[in-house]
């Protein structure tokens, strides 16, 4: 995901602490581009303090005179709002919206707008957006703190990015078994179960189906499959030894 093409735009923020909180939320989730449209107080020690180790995001922040200036080169603009508007715009929650934002960032610059602490974004500002994003909340109180709203949106973008790769697979220490290898294991298992007279070939019932279902609930890697097959081979050797000593 091109996170470096996604900018967070804060419109007329009153409280510098919120600007710092936003910078931290962004950096935690791997976003770095902050635009501030006419912030009331910036730079400010309270912003620095709340940003903790995200001072670099504040240092790189771009201060603009207008929303138009902040989004002029963007081809996809999302406006966040706690309230529905009289003329509704296409509305999504952050989870639905994340893939669309990521895809748009693959093709160019993207902005996500956040409004004033007291009044949010104006209708005129929201009408410059392609999409409205609403974080589902309790009906009793729908307005989140600004930095927390940014945190949730940034987190959903991160989760989308995490899901793009298959980290479980990438970090695994052995290749996963192929279908052919697993089929050979089932044949080996079936033969061994016959050898030890656990499975009666004349009346197999659903045993192999149930065992298949058991093993298919995990993805066996090659190492695990080799261990299981080694156990089967040794079991078969013992059966042979016992049988030949009886003869
Ligand atoms: N009282 C304002 C809300 C201000 S909260 C209003 O009624 O609109 C400050 C900003 O945080 C909002 O402008 C919006 O960008 C974001 N925000 C807060 N709660 C949100 C929610 N439930 N969904 C989407 N954005 C939200």
**pLDDT tens across 199-228, in order?**
999 999 999 999 999 998 888 999 999 999
Residue 59 CA to ligand 1 centre (angstroms):
25
| Ligand 1 atom nearest to 137, measured from its CA | 22
Residue 21 CA to ligand 1 centre (angstroms):
15
Q: What is the pLDDT of residues 133-183, one digit of tens each?
A: 999 999 999 999 999 999 999 999 999 999 876 666 677 899 989 999 999
Residue 78 CA to ligand 1 centre (angstroms):
13
**CATH numeric code, 3-162:** 3.40.1280.10
Determine if ligand 1 sits within 6 Å of the CB of residue 134. yes
Q: Take atom 8 of ligand 1 and give the residue whose Cα is closest.
A: 120
Residue 147 CA to ligand 1 centre (angstroms):
10
Across 26-46, average pLDDT? 98
Fold equal for 3-162 and 179-246: no
Residue 10 CA to ligand 1 centre (angstroms):
11
Q: What is the pLDDT of residues 66-79, one digit of tens each?
A: 999 999 999 999 99
Give the pLDDT of residue 166: 65
Determine if ligand 1 sits within 6 Å of the CB of residue 236. no
Determine if ligand 1 sits within 6 Å of the CB of residue 135. yes
**Considering the entire predicted model, what is its pTM?**
0.77
SS3 letters for the chain?
A: CCHHHEEEEEECCCCHHHHHHHHHHHHHCCCCEEEEECCCCCCCHHHHHHHHHHHHHHHCCEEECCHHHHHCCCCEEEEECCCCCCCCCCEECHHHHHHHHHHHHHHCCEEEEECECCCECCHHHHCCCCEEECCCCCCCCCCCCHHHHHHHHHHHHHHHHHHHCCHHHHCCCCCECCHHHHHHHHHHHHHHHHHCCCCCCCCCCCHHHHHHHHHHCCCCEHHHHHHHHHHHHHHHHHHHHHHHHHC
Q: What residue segments make up the domains of the chain, in order of their start?
A: 3-162, 179-246
CATH class of the 179-246 domain in this structure: mainly alpha
């Amino acid at each position: 995901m091109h996170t470096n093409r996604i900018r967070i735009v804060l419109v007329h923020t009153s409280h510098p602490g919120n600007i710092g909180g936003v910078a931290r939320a962004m950096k935690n989730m791997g976003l770095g581009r902050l635009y501030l449209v006419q912030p009331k107080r910036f730079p400010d020690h309270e912003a620095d303090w709340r940003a903790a180790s995200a001072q670099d995001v504040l240092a790189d922040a771009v201060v603009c005179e207008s929303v138009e200036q902040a989004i002029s080169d963007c081809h996809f603009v999302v406006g966040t709002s706690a309230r529905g508007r009289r003329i509704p715009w296409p509305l999504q929650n952050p989870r639905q919206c994340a893939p669309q934002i990521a895809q748009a960032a693959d093709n160019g610059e993207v902005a996500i707008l956040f409004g004033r602490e007291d009044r949010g974004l104006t209708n005129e500002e929201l009408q410059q957006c392609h999409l409205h994003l609403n974080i589902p909340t309790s009906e009793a109180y729908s307005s989140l703190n600004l930095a927390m709203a940014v945190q949730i949106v940034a987190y959903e973008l991160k989760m989308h990015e995490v899901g793009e790769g298959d980290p479980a697979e990438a970090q695994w220490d052995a290749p996963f078994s192929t279908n052919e290898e697993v089929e050979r294991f089932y044949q080996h298992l079936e033969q061994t179960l016959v050898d030890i007279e656990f499975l009666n070939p004349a009346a197999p019932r659903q045993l192999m189906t149930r065992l298949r279902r058991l093993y298919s609930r995990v993805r066996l890697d090659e190492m695990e499959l080799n261990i299981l097959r080694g156990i089967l081979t040794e079991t078969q050797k013992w059966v042979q030894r016992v049988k030949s000593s009886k003869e």
